[in-house]
Structure 1
Amino acid sequence: MNLKHASYIMAILEAGSITAAAKKLLISQPSLSQTVKAVEDELGLPIFDRHAKRLTLTYAGQRYVESMREIMTAERNLLSEIAEMKNDHRATLRIGISAQRSISLLPQILPAFLARYPLVTVELKELPSVRLEELLSKGGCDVAFITTASKQNDLEYRLLENEQIVLMASKQTAISRRIGQGTEIELSEAREENFVNLTSGHSVRTIQNHLAQLCQFEPRVLLELFNMEAAKLVTAQLNAVMVCPYGYIQGDTRVETLTKCYPLRCHGFERHFYFCYRKKLRLSSYMRDLFDIARSKCQYHTM
């Protein structure tokens, strides 16, 4: 089995087509097609279902990719262990993180980390948390900072920070005049308000959807935004409310003076901030230190 061939097959799977993968890999399409043929000839079975619009794996292809990922992880673990035996920390560390978290966390942790490990090259993968879990499982990054609920899958979730989910309401809203700051509420208390929503895919939006369904109402959406920072600032200026982690509000005078916050009864629909990696990955010393540095900078934000 050829590890380079395997990495090309995974690139095709991620890109969805041989043409797109060839452009990303900076190689010719015929050359990449020959790689696929070589792997299929070696296995004696097709690895891609070519009848679908987007290339998908056959069962043989799934088993090939699963096995090759394990082999690649084993190789990375061995090289990491040998590098530590030689006290050699030259490496590339692929870190996944959401764009919102990168703004607040990276300036706090990267200076200390890179001062300790100047020979480690950091590559960032900025994606929403839900996509980071998928990327991590597929070996697209080494570690990731993910805001989610811990799951039973092939990932390890090491807790960095618990989060409190609140309803942030502009002082122009009826709920802010009716209920005092800091009062714990059901989301249904805001059923008559205008909502500024985060787009689908945000874990906060997922929690909001669950709570609205539980409370049996459909939020009246004024605006939907991808960027939490923009959504927060817009909500503060409008006659609107927003579901948001309290940690993103605390200390931000741009919104604190214009809004009131209410802890939400989440009924088990919670999210927390984790340092994640594949269970079979051996954490190198610099990965373990990255976790320790991040944990020292995180805290529980609560009202």
Structure 2
Amino acid sequence: MEFRQFKYVLKVAEERNFSNAAKKLFISQPSLSQFIQKVEEQVGAPIFDRSVSPLKLTYIGKLYVEHAKTVMDLQNQFEQRIDDVLKIKKGRVTVGSSPFRSAYLMSQILPRFRANYPDIEIFLKEDNTLNLEELALNGETDLSISLLPIDEKLFDYEILFEERVLLALPPTHPIAHKLKLLAGDHSYTPYIDLVDLRDTPFIQMSKSHKLHQMLLILCKEAGFTPNVIFETDSMTTAQALAGAGIGVTLLPETLIRANHFEHEPCYCALKAKASRTVLVVYRKGRYLSRASRAFIQTLKETLNDSFN
């Protein structure tokens, strides 16, 4: 087996479409289809179920993809070790980050990193936090930005910073009037009891976000189940909907600082501690290249400068 066939099969599995995969691999669709057919002949069974659209992996295909990811990850680690042994100042780092982290973190870090390490390539994979941990575990990223809690049997991690989680509520909410909150102002965040919102509609993040579980836990501790009227995968959407008067939601303060809308929510803090610890994580036992260590160091230095 050669690495090219692993690369091609993985791309088709990712795109679930021969045409899209061929475009990203810079080859023709017929050539890619013929190549995959030859791989399937070597394997002795179909890798893809072509009777459905989009394509699906067969059981054999799932085994093949699992094996291919392992082999490609080992090859990547080997190349990184060689670069380090030879002290080559080139390299590559694949970083996993949520779109929201990318918007405010990478815009600060990447210019600084490229200035100091112009020959190191950075590849960014964006997804939600839970999927980012899976990408790091599978070796699809060298490191990912994540949050506590983390499975310490599977990951090593370094703490980056602590961020407050605030409550965003419509400017028309009685509590906003009572506390004289100003829309969009996150500098004044008085503390409230979450139980005071037991009858208020909530906007909840989807299960792919750790904020989903945080809301349920905080409400349970306050003695009620939240009245969730809307669920979204986008924190920016939740923030905008709170400003539009749809309901209240939990949001990290770093997101609140970065986003601005025509109709802004009001913000307050919870008496029950609500915060998140932001981490950079990588699979336990994975070789961390000089390039990856340089990125982590730059990440820490940039955050330190921005917080001081």
Q: TM-score, normalised by structure 1?
A: 0.77
SS at match of 1:164: strand
Match of 1:22 in 2: 22
Report the more deviating stretch, 188-197 or 2-11. Answer: 188-197
SS at match of 2:191: coil
The change in CA–CA distance for 1:280 and 1:251 in structure 2 (over 3 A counts) is closer
Q: Is the 8 A contact 1:173 1:239 kept in 2?
A: no
Q: Does 1:183 find its partner at 2:184?
A: no
Identity %: 26
Q: Is the 8 A contact 1:212 1:219 kept in 2?
A: no
Per-residue Cα deviation, 1:45-87 (whole angstroms, up to 9, x for no partner) = 44334565541241x4333333332222222222212212222
The change in CA–CA distance for 1:20 and 1:211 in structure 2 (over 3 A counts) is farther
Match of 2:184 in 1: none
Once the two structures are TM-superposed, the CA of residue 284 in structure 1 deviates from its matched residue by 1.1
Once the two structures are TM-superposed, the CA of residue 2 in structure 1 deviates from its matched residue by 0.9
Counterpart pick for 2:294 among 271, 289, 293? 289
Match of 1:44, as an amino acid? Answer: G
Q: How many residue pairs end up in the alignment?
A: 293
Match of 1:55 in 2: 56
CA distance in 1, matches of 2:33, 2:258: 54
Match of 2:67, as an amino acid? Answer: S
Match of 1:38 in 2: 38
Match of 1:111, as an amino acid? Answer: P
CA distance in 2, matches of 1:183, 1:88: 53
The change in CA–CA distance for 1:254 and 1:193 in structure 2 (over 3 A counts) is same
Match of 1:217 in 2: 225
Unaligned 5+ runs, structure 1: none
SS at match of 1:94: strand
Match of 1:185, as an amino acid? Answer: D
CA RMSD in angstroms comes to 3.7
Match of 1:248 in 2: 255
Match of 1:120 in 2: 120
Match of 1:70 in 2: 70
The change in CA–CA distance for 1:49 and 1:231 in structure 2 (over 3 A counts) is closer
Q: TM-score, normalised by structure 2?
A: 0.76
Match of 1:109 in 2: 109
CA distance in 2, matches of 1:155, 1:57: 30
Unaligned 5+ runs, structure 2: 181-188
Q: Does 1:97 find its partner at 2:97?
A: yes
Q: Is the 8 A contact 1:73 1:281 kept in 2?
A: no
CA distance in 2, matches of 1:213, 1:14: 39
CA distance in 2, matches of 1:52, 1:253: 43
The change in CA–CA distance for 1:42 and 1:251 in structure 2 (over 3 A counts) is closer
The change in CA–CA distance for 1:178 and 1:50 in structure 2 (over 3 A counts) is same
Once the two structures are TM-superposed, the CA of residue 294 in structure 1 deviates from its matched residue by 1.8
Q: Is the 8 A contact 1:203 1:271 kept in 2?
A: no
CA distance in 2, matches of 1:123, 1:283: 16
